[in-house]
Structure 1
Amino acid sequence: HLGKTTTVKRRYTVLSREILDNYPELASEGSPTIKQRLEIANRAVLEMALEASLACIKEWGRPAQDITHIVYVSSSEIRLPGGDLYLATELGLTPDVGRVMLYFLGCYGGATGLRVAKDIAENNPGSRVLVTTSETTILGFRPPNKDRPYDLVGAALFGDGAAAVIIGSNPDLSRERPFMELNYAVQQFLPGTHTVIDGGLTEEGINFKLGRDLPQKIEDNIEEFCKKLMSKASVNNYNDMFWAVHPGGPAILNRLENTLKLNSEKLECSRRALMDFGNVSSNTIFYVMEYMRDELKSKGRGGEEWGLALAFGPGITFEGILMRSL
């Protein structure tokens, strides 16, 4: 029961029967299809990013032309110019919008996008930064093969989607309603673990290998990392905080919960995002944060003030942000 193992109840994918009918070669083992995959992915990634960005700008309530910078995160497209340019054009942003591309960071890309946007916002008074993440599994799709049963776990765990958020400093409270403050951000890699999450581009697309020791490596290093982030706030009990953790898979969440002795409801938003969307790479942290925003809102004054956003990916890289609920 893969659904039980991965805890994923539904996922959304770009890949469809129609696409496979148009590109039958995607279903045959070993055929060089990187060109076809990029044809599908480049278009899909932009389309999803555009939809997420438009919804985000609408909720923000200010005109798109007020966006001064764009941070575009994806591990699912390859082209020059990149999707950042096409997105800026489609949204009608000004031609002097400052663009940053974050390519192929994998699952921690969303958190990196937030860290980079925070730096831009703090260093450019009045700026408003659109962070958008968009991912599809097309580049890594492989036809089912009984010699690679592990592929099915990936197929049941990973999904497609996009997300968008606007970051700024000194909000204009007459027309903006910020819900989270990004207080302090840290990125760290674990020396000597670069082979644990291993990805490479081939003629057939992207091949990923995930080491079985990934949850253990995260478990061994996570407590020290969290302490570093928490040192900037006046909190030292893990259960006094809210947690927005990238749900790489259920094992990672379970290990984290046990190691840090978290109450079972602490990772509820992460588990729900995994169940509802799967692991959508760089996007997932935003789905978790959206659930977290609703949860904190419903708790009102009784909600936790401080929290951590955490994501893990190739490197092994940890990306963490100390956040304050507003």
Structure 2
Amino acid sequence: MGSEVTFQCSRSADSRKAAILALGKAFPHQLVMQEFLVDGYFRDTNCDDPELKQKLARLCKSTTVKTRYVVMSEEILTKYPELAIEGLPTVKQRLEICNSAVTQMAIEASESCIKKWGRPVSDITHLVYVSSSEARLPGGDLYLAKGLGLRPDTRRTMLYFSGCSGGVAGLRVAKDIAENNPGSRVLLATSETTIIGFRPPSADRPYDLVGVALFGDGAGAMIIGSNPVVKTERPLFELYAALQHFLPGTEKVIDGKLTEEGISFKLERQLPQIIENNIQDFCVQLMGSAGYSEKDFNKLFWAVHPGGPAILNRLEKKLELLPEKLNASRRALTDYGNASSNTIVYVLEYMLEEAKNVRKDEQGHNEWGLILAFGPGITFEGILTKNLTV
């Protein structure tokens, strides 16, 4: 897990369209096995509520997550014991940890991505930085640019608190920048940690346990640009068309607040159903720009942010997808949990890995695909894309 794979381009890219030229990822050092999470969490928070413990154990089994990386450690809890005490104002302490942690992970993911890209860091012209795990002025984009040694005239854009849709939203923004600035090379970096919302279990907040069972930490990075340099750059995915849509009246379904105790999130039970009810029309609109219709769902590949197994299951059922169509999303969820905006990078890496094993007679059904994510709003983010490696 976490190994790097090199991919070669076998299709020519449209010089007018932006393409993903490289992918990178990074994680904190703490690897948590799902089977040990319950005992560790209740020990760390000094909680002995057997009912809540049983509830979390059931949730851990239902998420399908087996491993995930986290910034939280015994050292951090020793230094900041107040993080495990109910009701104490700790946003200052959380941001001390989160701001530096997300920057370090973003630097490591970006360096990995730039190395695979194969061009010098000085060739990066734009930076798009995505995070829902920090808050400061100047923002994390400046600290990331400094840590990487980007040129002072690198044009920076921040996307804060976009939640799970942030990675695809950042990709949409990077696509627009690349296509409207000839010769530009955009670094998209995402970085997240759950410490910003870490709290002890409480019977008054049973929904918190869903996050404990599901979410993980990490960072992701991509290089995006149009008109790839022959023999130097290897385009992976061509970004053909992008679409964003929010569902009116759903603002409270994914509800997040910054409080004295950090960030609190609440996901309503109807979230998977709302996504199921609206996903088909969204996908058909996005696919239509390449001449596809709802009859063609299984001709595409599907890179879907794995918000949770219920969302993947409902999407699969609604669109009548073949079981293997969501393999990459399910693998990312199993190996890394829901790492918020980062997770789409992990899904795309698995998608490329699986594309190498596709039979030649099936390649036409896996050339085009959709990159999808769902976030606060409820907001749908989608990109119609072409896999240039199959």
Cα distance in structure 2, aligned partners of 1:194 and 1:155: 23
Is 2:305 aligned against 1:243? no
Deviation at 1:153, TM superposition (A): 2.1
Q: Secondary structure at the match of 2:67?
A: coil
Alpha-carbon distance in 1 for matches of 2:274, 2:320: 17
1:86 to 140, 143, 151: 143
Distance 1:319 1:170 in 2: 24
Partner AA of 1:42 in structure 2: N
* Aligned counterpart for 1:291 among listed residues 340, 347, 350: 350
Tell me the residue number matched to 1:138: 195
Matched, 1:269 2:322: no
2:285 paired with 1:223: no
1:181 and 2:243 are equivalent in the alignment:
no
Q: Which residue of 1 aligns with 2:255?
A: 198
Distance 2:317 2:171 in 1: 27
SS of equivalent residue, structure 1 residue 12: strand
Which residue type is aligned with residue 222 of structure 2?
Answer: V
Range moving further from structure 2, 105-114 or 3-12: 3-12
Residue 33 of structure 2: aligned partner: none
1:61 to 105, 118, 122: 118
**Distance in 2 between the 1:152 and 1:83 partners?**
29
Provide the secondary structure at the position in 1 that maps to 2:350: helix
C-alpha displacement of 1:85:
0.7
Question: What is the deviation of 1:146?
Answer: 3.6
Q: Is the 8 A contact 2:284 2:292 kept in 1?
A: no
Q: Which residue of 2 aligns with 1:164?
A: 221
Deviations 1:146-172 (A, max 9, x none): 443332221010000000000000000
Q: Which runs of 5+ in 2 are unaligned?
A: 1-57
User: Displacement of 1:233 after TM fit?
Assistant: 1.2
Offset at residue 296 of structure 1 (A):
1.3
* Post-superposition CA distance 1:229-267 (Å, at most 9, x none): 000113331000000001000000000000000001100
Report which stretch shifted further, 43-52 or 293-302.
293-302
Residue in structure 1 matched with residue 66 of structure 2 by the alignment: 9
Q: Which amino acid aligns with 2:331?
A: R
Instruction: Describe the SS at the equivalent of 1:73.
Output: strand
| Residues 107-152 of structure 1, C-alpha deviations (whole Å, 9 max, x = no match) | 0000011000000000000000000000001111111224433322
Where does structure 1 lack aligned partners over 5 or more consecutive residues? none
SS of the residue 2:186 aligns to: strand
Q: Percent identity?
A: 70
Question: Are the counterparts in 1 of residues 164 and 374 from structure 2 also a CA contact under 8 Å?
Answer: yes
Query: 1:92: Cα distance to partner?
Result: 1.0
Which residue of 2 is the match for residue 47 of structure 1?
A: 104
Whole-angstrom CA distance in 2 between matches of 1:14 and 1:173: 40
Where 1:238 maps in the other structure, the secondary structure is: helix
Distance 1:314 1:120 in 2: 24
Kept after mapping to 1: 8 A contact 2:126/2:187: yes
Higher deviation after alignment, 115-124 or 81-90: 81-90
Q: 2-side partners of 1:95 and 1:149: how far apart?
A: 47
**Aligned equivalent of 1:38:** 95
TM-score, structure 1 normalization: 0.98
Match of 2:267 among 187, 190, 210: 210
Q: By how many angstroms is 1:90 displaced?
A: 1.2
Tell me how far 1:174 sits from its aligned partner: 1.6
State the number of aligned residues.
326
Q: 1:88-127 counterparts in 2 under 5 A?
A: 88-127=145-184
Which residue matches 1:318?
380
In 2, Cα distance between the equivalents of 1:299 and 1:172? 27
CA distance in 2, matches of 1:235, 1:296: 20
